[in-house]
Chain A
Amino acid sequence: MAAAVRKFIEKNGVGMAVFMTLAVTFWIMVLIVLPQLTMVDFSFRFKLPPDAIGGPQDQWTTTNYEYFIKGNPGNSDGWNRVDVTVFTRTLIAAFFVTVFNFIVCYPIAYYMAKVATGGWARMLALSLVVPYWINEILRAFAFRIIFGDAGLINTMLKTLGLITDSIDFIRADIALYAGLGYAYILLMIFPLYSAIESLDRNQVEAARDMGSPWWRIHWRIVMPFAKPGITAGCTMVFMLSAGALAAPQILGGPSSLWFTQIIYQGFFEYFNWQRGAAYAIILLGSCMIIVLSLTKLFGGKMGEIGR
């Protein structure tokens, strides 16, 4: 340990070593650990008027977590139907958004990495990036306009004579899934791209030479090789979809709620930060458990993500 420290200082010089240590410590402690710990602390406390904080009533409690399961005491269902349903639906929807995203992005990433060449490949990458120069909320609104009653898609379908009445994409949540899918497309494509890009083209040709059809080449050669990229992309898209707020707020149908909206309500409509914090921790914890168990199921390693 001491030797490692000395080596680190020798390699970087005293000033740089001190700066790096301080910067990394600041980053991890102040920007990551402390806020999360505050949230954890919040989630285990009662909602109290300001003058009672620190008083005898300010005790540790699991009330907020119990509320997520049970709801208000004596409600007709006996459990918190709304919150649990929304929570489950959010996770399932985020899962399918991730799967859908992967299905769309994998061919694009493969095309960019192995088929397109030179200027055309750069053009393609640029055309994927440029839309992200626009703010996330504006993009969500743009989707709302595209999918609206008199929006581009309905107008087109009507002009083509395929439908006579507008389809309510918003109510059917199609706009929401499309918006969520689009919002994180780059976070899926680029890890996939960089993983596939380093695959030796001869591997693909060798498999083809041995008679393999295209789908088996992808299943046996390309996807196993790109597994770290697939893990990284899917993890990010799943986490961010489950935790998205702007897209569900803007594109969600009137009857559908995203769990983040309930968290938001906890903080800013009921001013119950304690419950909001508990819900946020529940979401974070569940997402992490899902991601870790899926990664394990597919034989990936978290460490490989950074490769």
Chain B
Amino acid sequence: MKSGVGVELEHLWIRFGDFVAVRDASVKIEEGEFFSFLGPSGCGKTTILRTVSGFQDPSEGRVLIGGRDMAGTGPNKRPTALIFQNLALFPLMKVWENIAFSLEVRGVSKAGRRKRADELLDLIALPDQGDKLVDELSGGQRQRVAVARALAAEPQVLLLDEPLSALDLKLRQHMRTELRAIQQRVGLTFIYITHDQGEALTMSDHVAVMREGVIEQVGDGKEIYDDPATSFVASFVGENNAFSGRVTSLNGSHAVVDTEVGALRARIATAARGTLQQDDNAMVFIRPESLDVAADGAAGDHTLSARVVNEEFEGQSYHVFMEAGDGGSPIKMSLTNRGQAHISSIGGALTLAYDPDQAVALPQGALSDQE
């Protein structure tokens, strides 16, 4: 099996008439890494994947695979294999014929094709299923057949277009682990498209978060989650409580922002350091799990007060839903269940505290509209 090669996008623009699907995207994907494009539907991530696979031509900019410019190279000539969202297995062929289709194209003898298909069926833990029809397999099995079919083409880059979206939750979580394991076993470069941040964070070495055709941030899972570069990334990846306001003071790596719940101190995101100025419009993001009930009498710029609207007990954790002040922004706090009593009665006031290092200050910007 060939090893993976790197993929580079250089100032990629893709337009459909007046609509700009991808804006000036530049990203360098290292060989053998699991790279995800994460974003809401319509953000241009699938377009990028189709451009890498060769089904879409860039309007401007270049795609390099293994250092070679791919302009003018069709999808059938690129060292990539694409796994479609609906898998696109061939329903009239047997499982092994599906897997061996790329070998058939290359003129490999029937015995050779069968042998390779059986090897790949072993790899995906579906031995002896080769003579079935695709329809006779379960969703998860079909998923794995699609992976095997793509691997049979001996690609250097495997492209996956939300292949898990049709599976139920449990199977999806299982397939995440499995995909990641396959990727590490075969050592190929995987480019994965998803709108599910859980998938992106668990599987990827690096994630590019996209919004309206623009790559907003590239980083590993922890960077994306803990140190978002824009307010969109902060609100799209994971849950976040957002408070808008104005910067009242800057102090090295921290800023104090005057918000509807009072002054809030937060670490300035790496991407905003040096650009966020006094009196700028800014936002403070505090994760639900970073909030806690304040000790009695606590006050200052790392506390806020809220009114409890609802509480959900989920077993491993409590989720407390609140609003800032009276009828202000919604606030969510998640507490790990360590056997403590319920937090508070509904309608009651509560003072919350957080560690300013765990909160992030960013320039005011668009938020994710997903709920």
Q: A-side binding surface: helix, strand, loop or mixed? A: helix
Q: Does any Cβ of B come within 8 Å of A88's Cβ?
A: no
A33 to B18 CA separation, bound complex (whole angstroms): 62
A211 in complex: contacting residue of B86, B93, B102, CB < 8 Å: B102
Instruction: Across the interface, name the chain B residue whose C-beta is closest to A214.
Output: B76
Interface string of B79-94 (1 = CB under 8 A from A): 0111011101011110
A220 to B90 CA separation, bound complex (whole angstroms): 9
Are A206 and B76 in contact (CB-based, < 8 A)?
no
Instruction: Across the interface, name the chain B residue whose C-beta is closest to A212.
Output: B105
Q: Does any Cβ of B come within 8 Å of A77's Cβ?
A: no
Are A206 and B153 in contact (CB-based, < 8 A)?
no
Are B86 and A209 in contact (CB-based, < 8 A)?
no
Q: For A207, what are the chain B residues with a Cβ–Cβ distance below 8 Å?
A: 90, 101
Q: For A136, what are the chain B residues with a Cβ–Cβ distance below 8 Å?
A: none
Are B86 and A212 in contact (CB-based, < 8 A)?
no
Interface string of A153-192 (1 = CB under 8 A from B): 0000000000000000000000000000000000000000
A209 in complex: contacting residue of B80, B92, B104, CB < 8 Å: B80
Q: Does any Cβ of A come within 8 Å of B313's Cβ?
A: no
B90 in complex: contacting residue of A209, A211, A216, A221, CB < 8 Å: A221
A107 to B90 CA separation, bound complex (whole angstroms): 21
A202 to B53 CA separation, bound complex (whole angstroms): 13
Q: Does any Cβ of A come within 8 Å of B170's Cβ?
A: no
> What is the distance, in angstroms, from B62's C-beta to the closest C-beta of chain A?
20
Are A210 and B101 in contact (CB-based, < 8 A)?
yes
Q: For B102, what are the chain A residues with a Cβ–Cβ distance below 8 Å?
A: 210-212
> What is the distance, in angstroms, from A118's C-beta to the closest C-beta of chain B?
13
> What is the distance, in angstroms, from B153's C-beta to the closest C-beta of chain A?
5
Q: For A212, what are the chain B residues with a Cβ–Cβ distance below 8 Å?
A: 76, 101-102, 105
Interface string of A192-225 (1 = CB under 8 A from B): 0000000010110111111111001000110011
Are B86 and A202 in contact (CB-based, < 8 A)?
yes
Q: For A211, what are the chain B residues with a Cβ–Cβ distance below 8 Å?
A: 76-77, 102, 105-106, 153
Q: Which residues of B contact A (CB under 8 A)?
A: 53-55, 74-77, 80-82, 84-86, 88, 90-93, 101-102, 104-106, 149, 153
Q: Which residues of A contact B (CB under 8 A)?
A: 200, 202-203, 205-213, 216, 220-221, 224-225
Q: A205-B55, A225-B91 are in contact. List 8 more A-B contacts (CB 8 A).
A: A206-B90, A208-B76, A209-B53, A210-B102, A211-B102, A212-B102, A212-B105, A220-B104
Q: Could you name 21 residue pairs across A and B whose Cβ atoms are closer than 8 Å?
A: A200-B88, A202-B85, A202-B86, A202-B88, A203-B90, A205-B82, A206-B88, A206-B90, A209-B55, A209-B153, A210-B81, A211-B76, A211-B102, A211-B105, A211-B106, A212-B101, A213-B76, A213-B105, A216-B104, A220-B104, A221-B90
